């Protein structure tokens, strides 16, 4: 059955449209570029199978070939992915060819050292995400389409550089040694890169579907927060260095469990930032006294922050990190009226929030099931109430309840938005807090 996107009339403020879709897998006729791209995917999978079969077992070969129809269908539904995938593949292959099988080339060759070694590409990813965030905010506050376009362009650039960096890092791990080589999703540094890329890519998808760039200013704040963590973690803990896998991670399960998990984390975070925008738009016309309350609360937190962090013995980095966050949120609250005027309609914001959580919940459910199967293979039990497992369950129950209330009770608006924001705190603790404050079977991910 064919289907097509049907757009409702533009909202009252003219910002964004809410798309709907008829049922069906194929919404448009197959174009010759779809067939060509699928042929390229098949050729690439065949080449990789032949070239690297010594490093893959039957399960990994199966995963590789299963990616082909999935990637082909995704690119059919969202044609921008064709350009992205080709660009990432071209950069990764060019980088691999420049290495010439010698890891030390990354320090000798200008192209690798300053552009497309894994570390250089990931650094460029971070820089471009920061530029994109600033551009989106200039476009939002200044009502400048040009600045917003720059934000979109640099976000695409950041995503392309980041994915290329991960693929090159994968290759670099095998240059260190065949027994060291592994997919780069094995530690906090690598998964923070993955989180940034998935969140940015999903935002770009919704930006095209809803035809609005105004949400980039909000969504990319959480990405820049991740980039800030990467900057500290990479330097302070030398986390950018590629290390051999611990025994528990030496499994093909990691290749499917971790990406599925972080699609969930990324879309949950996107939904929370959209919820923040929703609440800002709803309360934009609040009286100055009411608006003063959250701003005053942020001021008190910033005043008490040095004492709290000093008594807790936490690094100065985290005090600065938290302080900058308070300044950013306070500035957004003070400029709420101007920002709210430029934001899409509440209908669009609510729709993006719902669809993001629905996608994230589906992938997080799959990831949790895969994690249980992996645990049974690695530790002999599907579930052991490890802190990471327990908090994953808390995250799953939180969003299961949110979706249940949405679909059964018609949950909408302010309550749903506050709940989505709380969900970000729960998800953040499951993602990072467990690694900081708790220990258990997943202790290989400790900070």
Residue 271: inside a domain: no
What is the rounded CA–CA span in Å between residue 61 and residue 41?
14
DSSP state, residue 249: G
Q: What is the pLDDT of residue 320?
A: 78
Question: What phi, psi does 20 have (nearest 5°)?
Answer: -125, 165
Instruction: Collect contacts of 228-235 with beta carbons under 8 A, ≥24 apart.
Output: 228/321, 228/324, 229/192, 229/321, 229/432, 230/122, 230/126, 230/189, 230/192, 230/193, 230/196, 231/126, 232/317, 232/321, 233/188, 233/189, 233/192, 233/447, 234/189
In a domain, 66, yes or no: yes
Token representation of residue 375: 């645990």
- β pairing state of 5-7 and 19-21: antiparallel
Count CB-CB contacts under 10 A for residue 41.
20
Q: With H, G, I as helix, E, B as strand and everything else as coil, classify residue 6.
A: strand
pLDDT tens per residue across all 447 residues of the chain: 333 333 333 344 446 766 665 556 777 888 999 999 999 999 999 999 998 888 888 888 999 999 999 999 999 999 999 999 999 999 999 999 999 999 999 999 999 999 999 999 999 999 999 999 999 999 999 999 999 999 999 999 999 999 999 999 999 999 999 889 999 998 889 999 999 999 999 999 999 999 999 999 999 999 999 999 898 888 777 888 898 988 878 888 999 999 999 999 999 999 999 999 999 999 886 655 455 455 555 454 544 445 455 545 556 777 777 778 888 888 888 888 899 999 999 999 999 999 999 999 999 999 999 999 998 888 888 888 888 889 999 999 999 999 999 999 999 989 999 999 999 999 988 888 787 776 655 655 555
Say if CB 392 and CB 360 are below 8 A apart: no
Overall number of domains in the chain:
1
Task: Look up the domain containing 38 and give its range.
Answer: 25-77
In a domain, 16, yes or no: no
pLDDT of residue 312: 53
The answer to whether residue 117 is domain-embedded is: no
Contacts of residue 97, Cβ cutoff 8 Å, sequence gap at least 6: none
Q: Which two tokens stand for residue 46?
A: 């065949």
The reply to whether 50 falls in a domain is: yes
Answer yes or no: is 446 within a domain: no
Structural domain includes residue 44: yes
41 in a domain, yes or no? yes
């Amino acid at each position: 059955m064919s289907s097509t996107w049907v757009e409702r009339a533009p909202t009252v403020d003219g910002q964004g449209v809410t798309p709907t879709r008829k049922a069906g897998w194929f919404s448009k006729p197959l174009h010759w570029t779809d067939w060509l791209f699928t042929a390229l995917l098949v050729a690439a999978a065949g080449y990789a199978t032949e070239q690297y079969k010594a490093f893959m077992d039957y399960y990994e070969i199966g995963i590789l070939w299963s990616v082909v129809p999935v990637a082909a269908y995704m690119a059919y539904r969202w044609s921008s992915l064709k350009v992205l995938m080709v660009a990432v593949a071209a950069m990764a292959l060019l980088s691999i060819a420049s290495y010439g099988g010698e890891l030390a080339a990354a320090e000798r060759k200008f192209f690798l050292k300053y552009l497309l070694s894994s570390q250089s590409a990931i650094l460029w990813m971070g820089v471009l995400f920061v530029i994109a965030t600033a551009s989106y905010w200039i476009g939002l506050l200044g009502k400048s389409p040009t600045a917003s376009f720059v934000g979109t362009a640099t976000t695409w650039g950041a995503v392309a550089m980041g994915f290329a960096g991960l693929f090159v890092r994968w290759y670099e791990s095998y240059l260190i040694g065949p027994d060291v080589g592994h997919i780069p999703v094995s530690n906090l540094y690598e998964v923070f890169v993955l989180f940034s890329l998935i969140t940015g890519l999903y935002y770009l998808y919704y930006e095209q579907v809803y035809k609005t760039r105004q949400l980039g200013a909000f969504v990319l704040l959480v990405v820049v927060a991740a980039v800030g963590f990467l900057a500290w973690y990479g330097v302070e803990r030398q986390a950018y260095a590629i290390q051999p896998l611990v025994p528990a991670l030496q499994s093909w399960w990691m290749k499917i469990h971790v990406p599925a998990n972080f699609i969930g984390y990324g879309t949950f975070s996107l939904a929370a930032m959209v919820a923040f925008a929703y609440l800002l738009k709803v309360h934009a016309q609040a009286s100055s006294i009411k608006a003063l309350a959250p701003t005053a609360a942020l001021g008190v937190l910033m005043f008490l922050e040095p004492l709290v962090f000093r008594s807790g013995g936490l690094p100065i980095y985290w005090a600065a990190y938290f302080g900058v966050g308070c300044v950013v949120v306070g500035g957004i609250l003070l400029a709420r009226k101007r920002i709210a005027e430029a934001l899409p309609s509440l209908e669009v914001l609510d729709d993006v929030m719902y669809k993001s959580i629905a996608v994230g919940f589906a992938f997080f459910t799959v990831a949790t099931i895969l994690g249980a199967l992996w645990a049974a293979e690695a530790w002999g039990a599907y579930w052991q109430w490890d802190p990471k497992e327990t908090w994953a369950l808390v995250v799953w129950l939180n969003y299961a309840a949110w979706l249940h209330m949405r679909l059964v009770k018609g949950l909408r608006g302010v309550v749903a938005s506050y709940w989505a924001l709380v969900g970000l705190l729960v998800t953040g603790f499951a993602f990072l807090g467990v690694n900081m404050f708790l220990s258990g079977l997943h202790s290989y991910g400790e900070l």
